[in-house]
């Protein structure tokens, strides 16, 4: 008892030494915290500013039913009315075609890299090429497709050509994210499957891909959201049309980025300015919806560990 | 797992339903005019069916949009797309057979630069038939300014050249004061704004400065600005620059000056009375211009130094460039139908309220005859 009592103050003193902070350290800690919070706030300012500007200037037209159901045919910059239907559909159609081409190639490529080609020269080459492709600016992808589609083959500018160049931008994004997701699947799962005598292809199809499904879908959605806002391919590979054109293989096609571009020189005129901001907000909402969808799919398709 | 799959399928189904719902109800807006009951006339001989694609000059963007809207009230089955990407781009796309006609602020060049000349390449595109330059839209260029309390400003060619060259630096300089007797001018320096992009407006404006500046303008007329000042992109940029800067001046299409509520200088062309910029005074200047093309080619040579009373000399003519022959039959019908309407009195009349000038009758009939000759 006496030993304990004698030891206690010394013990307390030690605890104080360990947990208490000297003035300099407390100051450093506070400084770092303040700097981090400040950096966060600085990063947030432009985002909130953009959102506020676009929402406050663009929201009014979005509540108009015509905005979602009509084109801009016969509507000049001086007149109100019309909608963004043609542009929304153009953006969706070109985006979906892009996804239809890019997603299978990207997922199969990722499966090759992770499951079959690990460590081989071919896999390293593919990996390197994908890294390069990630850094290709959209304008270069667009000019490449212009050179092939129009200069070499002599076709016209159409929505499908835009999709082709967007494929070049979407492919590396989806391939990389899918690859990372497949790498996360524990090898124990594969080994367990092999131990039961399941062939490799069936293991990939029934065990590996379903396990990573949520992550793969998220990657696809993010890739799609990224290419939908691209403007350079639209400017180079398809003309803007104010009219509804749902055929990606013939004629000019509207899209939200080019709809914004079309009237941005007329911001002095109220109807045109309203439409430009509303189109910008529509594009943001479209991308936001895709991101939310990705979150939802990822949540509901996650494998539950029982 | 089965619950997961159900949810997964559900999400996809909801998403695709959303797309379907959106795609089910799309339509074109009702024409704003009252002429929709006459829709039956859209199948008449004047109104073919199909899609017409065009590209080029941004100076005529507002004009052609208005004409397309009016034309669609008459011919509902024709779709006309116009991309205002600039005169140079328009000619390139026309020559590459990507569009059916082009809009350009200058006629096709006949002298060869590298390889074939513009006119020769255009002729190739039209299956070895000449391409026509059809003057269609007259866009006056305003000298727009922003000076407090200065409602009226008179300039002449020499003074304008000195201001834009940078040799006249303040608003109360004797050159300006002489042209504006009895007006209090501020002693503030003049801020000049110019188009930083290559522009047909710059080319036409510098042609005017060179022709009537009496040697005060030292640069050659070009699409690229060689004078003094601060650069802004596109017409919207220079208009916005003048609007937000006191004691500034620029050159810009008339409609931008009006839309941004800027002061517009009157021009003393040497006739004695300063000329205010109106649709009429701009049309008068074009009537004084000469047609230099042969036959149905109507490329014009403007007289920027005109001394005719009441003629506003700084104008920009936008040509529609179309094949005289050689397009597929259905495209030919579309081009003819649309351009005929553009050159009609109805089509031209709708431009006045947008601050363009209508074609003078004498030239309009020539343009119309040329369009009718397209086959």
pLDDT classification of A11: cutoffs 50, 70, 90: low
pLDDT at residue A16 greater than cutoff 80: no
What pLDDT does B30 receive?
67
CATH 3.40.190.10-classified regions of chain B: 4-20+31-139+318-372, 140-284
pLDDT at residue A46 greater than cutoff 50: yes
Higher pLDDT, A65 or A16: A65
Which residues lie below 8 Å from residue A154, measured CB to CB, with a gap of 6+? none
pLDDT at residue B94 greater than cutoff 90: yes
- pLDDT tens digit string along B310-342? 889 999 999 999 999 888 889 999 999 999 999
DSSP string, A21-76: --HHHHHHHHHHHHHHHHHHHHHHHHHHHHHHHHHHHHHHHHTSHHHHHB--TT--
Q: CB contact, 8 Å: B234 with chain A?
A: yes
pLDDT classification of A79: cutoffs 50, 70, 90: confident
What pLDDT does B249 receive?
95
Mean pLDDT of A107-134: 92
Q: What share of chain B is helix, strand, coil (3-state, %, to 5)?
A: 40, 20, 40
- Taking CA–CA distances from B11, the nearest residue in chain A reads A297
Tell which residue, B141, B73, B173, has the closest CA to residue B286.
B141
List beta partners, residue B51: B79
What pLDDT does B27 receive?
78
Q: CB contact, 8 Å: B66 with chain A?
A: yes
- For residues A69, A75, A81, A87, the Cα torsion angle rounded to the nearest 10 degrees is 40
Strand (E) or helix (H) holding A91 = helix A85-111
Q: Was B199 annotated as part of a binding site?
A: yes
pLDDT at residue B35 greater than cutoff 60: no
pLDDT at residue B42 greater than cutoff 60: no
| CA–CA dist B6, B1 (Å, integer) | 9
In degrees, rounded to 5, the angle at the alpha carbon of residue A277 between the alpha carbons of residues A273 and A281 is: 165
Q: Was B100 annotated as part of a binding site?
A: no
Mean pLDDT of B244-251: 94
Give the count of beta carbons closer than 10 Å to the beta carbon of residue A69: 16
Least confident of B170-174, B286-290, B327-331: B286-290
What pLDDT does B7 receive?
52
Distance from CA of B215 to the nearest CA of A (A): 34
Contacts of B81 in chain A (CB under 8 A): 239-243, 251-252
Q: Are A244 and B236 a contacting pair at CB < 8 A? A: no
Q: Are B81 and A242 a contacting pair at CB < 8 A? A: yes
Is residue A129 assigned to a domain?
A: yes
Q: Are A150 and B23 a contacting pair at CB < 8 A? A: no
Pick among 3.40.50.12240, 3.40.190.10, 3.40.605.10, 3.40.50.11290: CATH of B4-20+31-139+318-372: 3.40.190.10
ipTM over 0.85: no
Higher pLDDT, A118 or A21: A118
Backbone angles phi, psi at A246, to 5 degrees: -100, 5
Q: Are B32 and A81 a contacting pair at CB < 8 A? A: yes
Is residue A112 assigned to a domain?
A: yes
Among the partner residues B4, B83, B234, nearest to A265 by beta-carbon distance = B234
Q: Which CATH superfamily is domain B140-284 in?
A: Periplasmic binding protein-like II (3.40.190.10)
What pLDDT does A226 receive?
85
pLDDT classification of A37: cutoffs 50, 70, 90: very high
- pLDDT tens digit string along B95-130? 989 999 999 988 888 877 677 888 888 998 999 998
- Mutation site, A65, A210, A252, interface B, largest B CB count within 10 A: A252
Q: Was B200 annotated as part of a binding site?
A: yes
pLDDT classification of B24: cutoffs 50, 70, 90: low
Q: Are B22 and A240 a contacting pair at CB < 8 A? A: no
Distance from CA of B256 to the nearest CA of A (A): 8
| CA–CA dist A198, A176 (Å, integer) | 27
Mean pLDDT of A186-191: 93
Average pLDDT of chain B is 85
- Mutation site, B3, B33, B79, interface A, largest A CB count within 10 A: B79
Which residues lie below 8 Å from residue B31, measured CB to CB, with a gap of 6+? A74, B69, B72, B73, B76
Cα–chain-centroid distance for residue B349?
16
Q: CB contact, 8 Å: B149 with chain A?
A: no
Cα dihedral B261, B262, B263, B267 sign: negative
* CATH number, domain containing residue A128: 1.10.3720.10
CA-to-CA separations, A75 to A78, B65, B69, B332, B340, in angstroms, rounded: 8, 8, 7, 26, 21
- pLDDT tens digit string along A192-203? 999 999 999 999
What pLDDT does A168 receive?
94
Mean pLDDT of A224-243: 91
Contacts of A296 in chain B (CB under 8 A): 11
Q: CB contact, 8 Å: B51 with chain A?
A: yes
Q: Was B201 annotated as part of a binding site?
A: yes
Among the partner residues A66, A74, A267, nearest to B31 by beta-carbon distance = A74
Distance, first Cα to last Cα, chain B: 68
Contacts of B11 in chain A (CB under 8 A): 293, 296-297, 300
Give the 3-state secondary structure of B329-363.
HHHHHHHHHHHHHHHCHHHHHHHHCCCCECCCHHH
List beta partners, residue B290: B301
Residues in chain B: 375
Is residue A211 assigned to a domain?
A: yes
pLDDT at residue B50 greater than cutoff 80: yes
Among the partner residues B26, B31, B85, nearest to A89 by beta-carbon distance = B26
Q: Are A265 and B236 a contacting pair at CB < 8 A? A: yes
pLDDT classification of B361: cutoffs 50, 70, 90: confident
- The residue range of the domain holding A256 is 85-300
Mean pLDDT of B218-233: 88
Which residues lie below 8 Å from residue A281, measured CB to CB, with a gap of 6+? A54, A55, A58, A59, A62
Q: Are A301 and B29 a contacting pair at CB < 8 A? A: no
Mean pLDDT of B254-275: 89
Q: Helices (H), strands (E): how many in chain A?
A: 13, 0
Which of helix, strand or coil describes residue A254? coil
| CA–CA dist B73, B7 (Å, integer) | 49
What pLDDT does A300 receive?
79
Mean pLDDT of B206-210: 92
What is the number of domains present in chain A?
A: 1
Q: Are B8 and A297 a contacting pair at CB < 8 A? A: yes
pLDDT at residue B173 greater than cutoff 80: yes
Strand (E) or helix (H) holding B253 = strand B248-253
């Amino acid at each position: 008892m006496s030993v304990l009592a004698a030891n206690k103050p010394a013990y307390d003193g030690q605890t104080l030494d360990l947990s208490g902070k000297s003035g300099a350290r407390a100051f450093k800690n506070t400084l770092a915290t303040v700097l981090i919070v400040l950096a966060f706030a600085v990063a947030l300012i432009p985002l909130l500013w953009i959102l506020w500007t676009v929402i406050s200037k663009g929201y009014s037209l979005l509540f108009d039913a015509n905005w979602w159901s009509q084109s801009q045919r016969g509507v000049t910059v001086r007149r109100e009315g019309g909608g963004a239907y043609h542009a929304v559909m153009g953006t969706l159609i070109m985006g979906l075609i892009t996804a239809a081409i890019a997603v299978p190639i990207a997922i199969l490529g990722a499966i090759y890299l992770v499951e079959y080609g690990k460590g081989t020269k071919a896999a390293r080459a593919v990996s390197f090429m994908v890294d390069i492709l990630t850094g290709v600016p959209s304008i270069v992808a667009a000019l490449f497709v212009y050179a092939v589609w129009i200069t070499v083959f002599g076709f016209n500018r159409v929505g499908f050509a835009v999709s082709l160049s967007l494929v070049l931008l979407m492919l590396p994004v989806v391939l990389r994210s899918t690859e990372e997701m497949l790498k996360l699947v524990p090898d124990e799962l594969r080994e367990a499957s092999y131990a039961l005598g399941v062939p490799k292809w069936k293991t990939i199809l029934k065990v590996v891909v379903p396990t990573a499904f949520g992550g793969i879908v998220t990657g696809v959605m993010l890739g799609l959201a990224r290419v939908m806002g691209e403007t350079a391919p639209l400017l180079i590979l398809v003309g803007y049309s104010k009219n509804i054109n749902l055929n990606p293989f013939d004629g000019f096609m509207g899209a939200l980025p080019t709809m914004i571009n079309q009237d941005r020189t007329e911001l002095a005129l109220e109807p045109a300015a309203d439409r430009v901001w509303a189109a910008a907000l529509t594009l943001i909402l479209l991308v936001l919806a895709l991101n939310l969808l990705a979150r939802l799919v990822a949540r509901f398709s996650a494998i539950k560990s029982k | 797992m089965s619950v997961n799959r159900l949810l997964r399928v559900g999400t996809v189904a909801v998403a695709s339903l959303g797309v379907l719902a959106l795609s089910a109800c799309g339509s074109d807006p009702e024409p704003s005019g009252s002429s929709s009951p006459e829709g039956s006339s859209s199948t008449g001989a004047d109104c073919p069916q199909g899609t017409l694609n065009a590209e080029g000059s941004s100076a005529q963007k507002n004009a052609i949009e208005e004409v397309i809207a009016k034309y669609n009230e008459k011919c509902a089955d024709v779709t006309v797309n116009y991309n205002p990407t600039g005169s140079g781009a328009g000619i390139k796309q026309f020559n590459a057979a990507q569009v059916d006609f082009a809009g350009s602020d200058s006629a096709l060049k006949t002298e060869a630069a590298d390889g074939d000349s513009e006119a020769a390449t255009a002729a190739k595109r039209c299956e070895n038939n000449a391409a026509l330059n059809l003057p269609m839209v007259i866009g006056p260029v305003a000298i727009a300014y922003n000076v407090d309390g200065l409602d009226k400003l008179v300039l002449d060619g020499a003074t304008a050249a000195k201001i834009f060259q940078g040799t006249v630096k303040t608003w109360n300089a004797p050159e300006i004061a002489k042209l504006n007797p009895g007006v209090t001018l501020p002693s503030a320096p003049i801020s000049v704004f110019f188009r930083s992009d290559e522009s047909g407006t710059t080319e036409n404006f510098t042609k005017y400065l060179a022709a009537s500046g009496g040697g005060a303008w030292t640069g050659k007329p070009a699409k690229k600005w060689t004078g003094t000042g601060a650069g802004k992109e596109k017409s919207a940029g220079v208009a916005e620059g003048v609007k937000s800067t006191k004691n500034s001046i620029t050159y810009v299409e008339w409609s931008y000056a009006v839309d941004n509520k800027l002061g517009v200088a009157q021009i003393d062309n040497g006739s004695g009375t300063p000329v205010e910029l109106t649709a009429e005074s701009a049309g008068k200047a074009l009537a004084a211009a000469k047609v230099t093309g042969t036959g149905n080619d109507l490329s014009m040579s403007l007289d920027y130094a005109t001394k005719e009373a009441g003629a506003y000399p700084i104008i920009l003519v936008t040509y529609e460039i179309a094949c005289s022959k050689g397009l597929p039959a259905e495209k030919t019908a579309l081009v003819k139908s649309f351009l005929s309407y553009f050159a009609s009195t109805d089509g031209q009349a709708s431009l006045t309220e947008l601050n363009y000038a209508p074609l003078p009758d004498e030239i309009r009939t020539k343009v119309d005859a040329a369009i009718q000759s397209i086959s």
